[in-house]
């Protein structure tokens, strides 16, 4: 019983947990133990490695463009495009 519990405690992170922790990880908000489990999973899971890269890119994009500026020329181009569709 004790062995089982210890085994469970040391279970590697699963992908679902990874997704839940990824924003905290990128914020540097994960405690050391969690971060180690997180990075151990990262080393073994291609899916989560790709997911982390996507999240990094997404967050980088958000930081670069905090607000989509209202752009009259873009709006005009969109209106023209819609008109062409009809
Ligand atoms: Zn994973």
Alpha carbons 51 and 59: distance in angstroms, whole number: 12
Ligand 1 centroid – CA 14 distance (Å): 6
| Residue 7 pLDDT > 50 | no
Sequence-ordered list of residues with C-beta below 8 angstroms from that of 41, at least 6 positions apart, any chain = 12, 13, 14, 15, 17, 18, 48
Considering only residues 78 and 69, tell me which one the structure prediction assigns the higher pLDDT: 78
Residues sharing a CB contact under 8 Å with residue 44, sequence separation 6 or more, in sequence order: 12
Q: What is the pLDDT of residue 63?
A: 67
Which residues have beta carbons under 5 A from ligand 1 (an ion)? Answer: 15, 18, 45, 48
Give me the mean pLDDT over the 21-40 stretch.
94
């Amino acid at each position: 019983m004790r062995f089982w519990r210890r085994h469970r405690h040391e279970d590697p992170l699963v992908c679902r947990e990874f997704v839940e922790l990824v924003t905290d990880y990128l914020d540097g908000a994960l405690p050391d133990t969690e971060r180690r489990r997180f990075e151990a999973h990262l080393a073994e899971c291609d899916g989560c490695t790709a997911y982390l890269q996507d999240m990094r890119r997404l967050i980088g994009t958000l930081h670069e463009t905090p607000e989509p500026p209202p752009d009259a020329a873009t709006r005009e181009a969109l209106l023209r495009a819609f008109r062409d569709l009809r």
